[in-house]
Structure 1
Amino acid sequence: MDGQVETADVIVVGAGPGGSATAAYLAGHGLEVLLLEKASFPRDKVCGDGLTPRAVRELISLGVSIREEDGWHRTKGLRILGGGVRMELDWPGSETYPAYGLVRTRMDLDQTLARHAASRGARLHEGMNVQAPVLDDRGHICGVTAKVMGPDGRATGEKREFRAPVVVAADGNSSRLSLSMDRPKRDDRPMGVAVRTYYRTPRHDDEYIESHLELWTKGDQGEDVLMPGYGWMFPLGDGTANVGLGILDTSEAFGTFDYRDVLRRWVAGMPEEWGMGEETQLGPVRGAALPMCFNRQPLYERGLLLVGDAGGMVNPFNGEGIAEAMEAGRRSAEIVASALARPTPGEREAVLRSYPAVMKDSLGGYYTLGRHFATLIGKPEVMRLAVKYGLPRKALMRLLLKIMANLPQERGGRLDDRVINALTRMTPAA
């Protein structure tokens, strides 16, 4: 191993929103933190780039500036299109959540959060491609080895080793570190696939993010053709918009079509005044998997905690993962800091083992409801009925928005808030 071994109290692998939030909070608790990122910033990640009020709350808690002059585009709510209905639903502000969302490219967001973690005291190392865990004589992780990557993304040939008594895997859906520690994905959890690209468009400063429940195009004879999947358009406020589509593996059409071709055909049928087409497309269409409902467990074992996509923390109702990842970062940091303050190994281990229960108390019941939801909307006849009879009812759609974005007021609130909270508490986490 090249060079000297670097040590810390905690190692966080992956500087996405979950990893950077974890590192920032850990440093705020007075711990020495190593934040290891495979790429060099700025770097891109496939995402819709939309942040619900739940994610905004996490940014505020973290102490990140979200002023519009710093590059954040604010949104008032969600516009839904389907079944001939066009409906605008404002974000339901409350004591718990602000009444606005944000849009920011992952290219900017991830760099902002990583630099924020560094400003709080975390030691950020870019270009560190973590390869394997280092295990102690108990089989617990006590460090990682990494290949050093150059600015061009190629390995330099140098290797590094890092040591810490606790390691956090925030290294995404594939999570090499989790697999190395014998934590494969669970097959009984929903998985999504999403593709997206960017377009220059005069709609870049829209106040609403947009969700298309139906994707229409023209057939060879000029007839209307309904394609599989669900689309979105998220305005970035900088002259561009993020446009993409997704589908759940509970759908009968999952894996049976070319996602990129469907996106191209859908965009080709958009109104000409939107200005979206091959001549205004910025960059290639890129895709990614969306791991949902704690699809990798246990969330803690043998010194390794899972945060964000590494632990399958994507919302099955709407495909959002940033809010959940940052929440997991906040909660995991509290637990790790408390554990490392305990005087004996046994006490430290007992505190660390509380992490799965804490996350399941927070999101487990909600995710169980989401699993049933994902199964239902995967059936075309159910989806058709939902669009036909549910979408025209604005009061019902307001309730569904609060459920799907997980925005009930935490304590008290309106009747719908209390019902949603009671339902998620009564639903067993798994």
Structure 2
Amino acid sequence: MTDAAEVVVVGGGPAGASAAYYLAMAGHDVLVVEKATFPRDKICGDGLTPRAVAELIRMGVDTTGWARNTGLRTYGGGHCVEVPWPELASMPNYGLAAPRETFDDVLIEKAKEAGARLEEGVTVTGPIRHERTGRVIGVTAKAGPGREPREYRAPFIIDAGGVSARLATTVGRQKAMNRPMGVAYRTYFQSPQAEDSMMESHLELWEGKPGASDLMPGYGWIFAVGDGLVNVGLGSLSSNAQPSGLDYRAMFANWMANVPAEWGFTEENQVGKLRGAALPMAFNRKPHYADGLLLVGDAGGMVSPFNGEGIAYALQSGRMAADSIGQALARPTVSSMDAAVSEYPRMIRDELGGYYSLGRIFATLIERPEIMHLCVKYGLPRPTLMRFVMKLLSDCYDRTGGDWMDRTIAALAKAVPKA
């Protein structure tokens, strides 16, 4: 069986839903194929920075009832510093949080309301390529109770399949081993911490009592997601994609054994298992467009090396991909269509390339716990420095205009070679 559309999107997560929404809003026939069935859970991504919230506002997503946070509380070096989200022209001064099971379902429903078609339970097995040119003109798949073979064809295919990017990998777009890679593990707890309006970041993780034991690599976080739940997790950052060899479950157990009892992070209060995922960073898979196939979100390595944020860039890349495809579909020839879509990798690189390059430098510096300890010990007590660092790490700065901090970050991002 064969189905045809103007655009086929492989993956219905935030990047795929964003692309589908904007394409459908422009009147295009867009088909999303998703291997799971909504609602379905994903690991990490529950916390939304103001940059991600700005993208949700563009889409008109109803976030009523979602947990709202007002800033970041950071622990480290014996210090605790609270920094509110900055007042900016380009994004709101608050973040949000919602479990991915809820978040992804809301986004794909938004795309469907705009006119996008969705087929669930579809496992894409490979690309369909034009015999002469090699252009990707569709995908093969298995779907339905009997896993019948299917084909989906379109002038443009979007790989929104996440970190595995199986479609992109099949056509030869391998990840770059010299780009940063993060790993994150998280679970949920019923906890009094769910009443806190600040996201927490723990920049030092100790095997035992803080200051009296060995410092573990990585960082931790705690934030409310609603209904009395908090997302609690830890992650590590490496300047390359080689396996870290860390035992994250043991690290998490050591951390939980030493948190204050009043937080309620006990086995009885835990909701769901501890689960982990890789975070592909700094454009670790390219090209983002070639031969009819576009990469968006995690499939294109669009996770920040500074903080592991991927949702904002998934939504943004979906929007930009949709815009360039819309321009292309109005062109009369394949070559002119390709010229239009070639704007997409240039747009995303101009927007994020310099910032991600700064993140690669950051990753190289702080992947060693002893360097992180020195930065935390001498940096956290300085409020002005911490406000600057928070803007940099969270990508909460105005690209044009803004205060001296915004202008400094923007200048640094322009000065370095783009990722």
Q: TM-score, normalised by structure 1?
A: 0.94
- What's the counterpart of residue 165 of structure 1? 155
Matches within 5 A, 1:318-329: 318-329=307-318
2:48–2:96 Cα contact (<8 Å) kept: yes
Instruction: Give the aligned residue type for 2:137.
Output: C
- What's the counterpart of residue 128 of structure 1? 122
- What's the counterpart of residue 20 of structure 1? 17
Choose the corresponding residue for 1:142, options 114, 122, 137. Answer: 137
Instruction: Give the aligned residue type for 1:144.
Output: V
- What's the counterpart of residue 94 of structure 2? 100
Choose the corresponding residue for 2:81, options 65, 68, 87. Answer: 87
> Does residue 206 in structure 1 map to residue 196 in structure 2?
yes
1:232, distance to aligned residue in structure 2 (A):
0.5
Q: Aligned partners of 1:308 and 1:352: how far apart in 2?
A: 17
Cα distance change, pair 89–103 in 1 and its aligned pair in 2 (3 A):
same
Q: Aligned partners of 1:418 and 1:380: how far apart in 2?
A: 30
Cα distance change, pair 252–184 in 1 and its aligned pair in 2 (3 A):
closer
Choose the corresponding residue for 2:41, options 37, 41, 44. Answer: 44
Choose the corresponding residue for 1:279, options 261, 268, 273. Answer: 268
1:197–1:282 Cα contact (<8 Å) kept: yes
The range that moved more, 189-198 or 254-263, is 254-263
Instruction: Give the aligned residue type for 2:62.
Output: S
- What's the counterpart of residue 312 of structure 1? 301
Task: Mark the runs of 5 or more structure 2 residues left unpaired by the alignment.
Answer: none
Q: SS of 1:115's equivalent? A: helix
- What's the counterpart of residue 153 of structure 1? none
Q: Aligned partners of 1:218 and 1:288: how far apart in 2?
A: 25
1:149, distance to aligned residue in structure 2 (A):
5.6
Task: Mark the runs of 5 or more structure 1 residues left unpaired by the alignment.
Answer: 151-155
Percent identity between the two aligned chains: 52
- What's the counterpart of residue 66 of structure 1? 63
Q: Deviations over 1:104-155 (max 9, x none)?
A: 11111011101110110000111111110111121011111111265xxxxx
Cα distance change, pair 327–198 in 1 and its aligned pair in 2 (3 A):
same
Cα distance change, pair 337–328 in 1 and its aligned pair in 2 (3 A):
same
Instruction: Give the aligned residue type for 2:239.
Output: T
1:248–1:254 Cα contact (<8 Å) kept: no
Instruction: Give the aligned residue type for 1:34.
Output: L
Cα distance change, pair 355–251 in 1 and its aligned pair in 2 (3 A):
closer
1:267–1:276 Cα contact (<8 Å) kept: yes
Q: Aligned partners of 2:202 and 2:147: how far apart in 1?
A: 47
Moved over 6 A (4+): 251-254
1:376, distance to aligned residue in structure 2 (A):
0.4
1:251, distance to aligned residue in structure 2 (A):
9.1
Q: Aligned partners of 2:255 and 2:241: how far apart in 1?
A: 20
Q: Deviations over 1:168-189 (max 9, x none)?
A: 0000111110011110000110
Cα distance change, pair 6–256 in 1 and its aligned pair in 2 (3 A):
closer
1:226, distance to aligned residue in structure 2 (A):
2.5
Q: Aligned partners of 1:234 and 1:193: how far apart in 2?
A: 18
Q: Aligned partners of 1:394 and 1:274: how far apart in 2?
A: 27
2:177–2:241 Cα contact (<8 Å) kept: no
- What's the counterpart of residue 114 of structure 1? 108
> Does residue 426 in structure 1 map to residue 404 in structure 2?
no
1:48–1:234 Cα contact (<8 Å) kept: no
Matches within 5 A, 1:371-386: 371-386=360-375
2:180–2:241 Cα contact (<8 Å) kept: no
Aligned length: 417
1:205–1:236 Cα contact (<8 Å) kept: no
Q: Aligned partners of 1:211 and 1:254: how far apart in 2?
A: 24
1:67, distance to aligned residue in structure 2 (A):
2.0
Q: Aligned partners of 1:147 and 1:249: how far apart in 2?
A: 36
1:253, distance to aligned residue in structure 2 (A):
11
Q: Aligned partners of 1:337 and 1:132: how far apart in 2?
A: 25
1:38–1:149 Cα contact (<8 Å) kept: no
Q: Aligned partners of 1:269 and 1:160: how far apart in 2?
A: 52
2:217–2:368 Cα contact (<8 Å) kept: no
Q: Aligned partners of 1:170 and 1:318: how far apart in 2?
A: 21
- What's the counterpart of residue 410 of structure 1? 399
Instruction: Give the aligned residue type for 2:125.
Output: Q
Instruction: Give the aligned residue type for 1:412.
Output: G
Q: Aligned partners of 1:366 and 1:205: how far apart in 2?
A: 33
- What's the counterpart of residue 260 of structure 1? 249
Q: Deviations over 1:205-259 (max 9, x none)?
A: 210111000112438xx95342221101111121111111000123999623310
Q: SS of 1:236's equivalent? A: strand
Choose the corresponding residue for 2:179, options 178, 185, 189. Answer: 189
What is the alpha-carbon root mean square deviation over aligned residues? Answer: 1.7
Q: Aligned partners of 1:317 and 1:384: how far apart in 2?
A: 16
Choose the corresponding residue for 2:27, options 21, 25, 30. Answer: 30
- What's the counterpart of residue 56 of structure 1? 53
1:140–1:303 Cα contact (<8 Å) kept: yes
